[in-house]
């Protein structure tokens, strides 16, 4: 441990040093005649105890301690003041400045050594507690990261199960998630919010697990009754995700319940319009439609990315939030690269590759979202 001594008398500094040298656990004693030099040293170095005179030029002891206590790393360092002052106002001022102990001049070396030993023991215990607290904080942070990682893994595996059910390969939900995140970032949402959208976007169609195979896997266009049945997946998704205790599930519920609403109020299930639609749902709606248009299905050819881009642009202010469309357009170079098969985001995207047999089955059944019967 390190002690700093400050006194404008060189002989007193020598006497202070001699009184405390040899204490157990004491690494270094540094003495200063000039309080300004002491201030500069304490600013840049770890100090465990300060012993300071009261009457000094430039700074008195109280002024020096007040200046030092402004440094965060010095806020809990104990201080012994050596003084011949007995005036009560000065002593009160010293205590308020952060002085821990007082020793009268001329000092008793035995008393000084005992007080220094006691304060160093307290300082050592304080540092040990601070270290334990730091380790606990680190362990909590590690546990929190592990829980978040498990939550994210569950989300992606559930999304994979939905894609199996619907006949997708997993590429669809990965691209929807990445495009959604690009739009969210462009809109200036904070990092945590963007990541929530990225993780929740794959669950936008979670309600499809409640739709019958005859409708969900039908090759070709759906009848009006079948479209009505298909649209029930929104309500089912909300029921699956509602009343979640985490922010991630809250965002996922908002996306599942609102990604088929339209900016002009002609969407479903509630025909809400404009900013009444959750922002997260407005973002994912663009990513979902765009990716679906670019994907080949048994009853339609894949649109080119430029045709799909033109559709998104044409639907600005009608189907889609104009601000979200503008963000989509600003991110177009990134989105175009993504659609060409390039990985864009600095995020560890869980592998969603499916077995070869599942991929071959995908060629025989439909797995485009059925919410766009007028597409293609």
Best CA proximity match to 118, nearest among 141, 132, 100: 100
CA 245 to chain centre: 18
**5 pairs with which residues across the strands?**
31, 51
For residue 114, the tally of other CB atoms under 10 A from its CB is 11
Residues 178 and 342: beta-carbon distance below 8 Å = no
Integer-rounded Cα radius of gyration of the chain? 34
Determine which one of 208, 232, 243, 301 is catalytic. 208
For strands 49-53 and 79-83, give the pairing. parallel
Residue 109 near residue 19 (C-beta atoms within 8 A) = yes
Q: Which residues pair with 104 in a beta bridge?
A: 83
Dist. CA 95–CA 362, nearest whole Å: 78
Q: Is the peptide bond before 340 cis (omega within 30 degrees of 0)?
A: no
In sequence order, the β-bridge partners of residue 79 are: 50
Query: What one-character DSSP code corresponds to residue 201?
Result: G
Tell me phi and psi for residue 277, to 5 degrees. Answer: -75, 130
User: For this structure, is 10 an active site residue?
Assistant: no
- Tell me how far apart the alpha carbons of residues 260 and 316 are, in angstroms, rounded to a whole number: 15
Please list the active-site residues: 208
């Amino acid at each position: 441990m390190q002690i700093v001594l400050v006194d404008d008398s060189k002989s007193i500094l020598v006497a202070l040093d001699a009184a405390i040298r040899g204490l157990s656990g004491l690494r270094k004693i540094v003495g200063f005649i000039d309080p300004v030099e002491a201030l500069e040293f304490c600013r840049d170095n770890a100090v465990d105890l300060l012993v300071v005179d009261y009457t000094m030029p430039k700074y008195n002891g109280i002024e020096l301690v007040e200046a030092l206590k402004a440094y965060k790393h010095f806020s809990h360092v104990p201080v012994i003041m050596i003084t011949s002052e007995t005036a009560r106002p000065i002593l009160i001022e010293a205590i308020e400045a952060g002085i821990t102990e007082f020793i009268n001049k001329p000092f008793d070396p035995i008393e000084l050594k005992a007080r220094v030993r006691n304060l160093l023991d307290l300082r050592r215990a304080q540092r040990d507690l601070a270290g334990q607290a730091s380790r606990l904080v680190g362990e909590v942070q590690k546990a929190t990261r592990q829980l978040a990682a498990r939550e994210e893994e569950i989300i992606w595996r559930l999304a994979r199960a939905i894609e199996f059910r619907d006949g997708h390969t997993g590429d669809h939900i990965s691209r929807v998630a990445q495009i959604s995140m690009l739009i969210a970032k462009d809109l200036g949402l904070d990092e945590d919010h963007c990541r929530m959208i990225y993780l929740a976007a794959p669950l936008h169609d979670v309600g499809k697990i409640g739709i019958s195979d005859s409708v969900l896997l039908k090759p070709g266009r759906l009848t009006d009754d079948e479209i009505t049945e298909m649209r029930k997946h929104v309500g089912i998704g909300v029921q699956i995700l509602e009343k979640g205790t985490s922010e991630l599930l809250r965002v996922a519920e908002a996306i599942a319940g609102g990604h088929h609403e339209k900016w002009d109020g002609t969407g479903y299930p509630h025909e809400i319009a404009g900013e009444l639609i959750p922002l997260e749902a407005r973002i994912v709606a663009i990513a979902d439609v765009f990716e679906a248009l670019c994907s080949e299905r048994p009853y339609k050819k894949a649109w080119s990315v430029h045709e799909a881009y033109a559709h998104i642009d044409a639907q600005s202010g009608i189907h889609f939030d104009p601000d979200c469309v503008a963000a989509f357009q600003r991110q177009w170079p990134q989105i175009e690269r993504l659609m060409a098969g390039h990985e864009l985001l600095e995020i560890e995207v869980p592998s969603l590759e499916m077995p070869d047999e599942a991929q071959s089955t995908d060629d025989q059944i439909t797995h485009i979202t059925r919410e766009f019967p007028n597409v293609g």
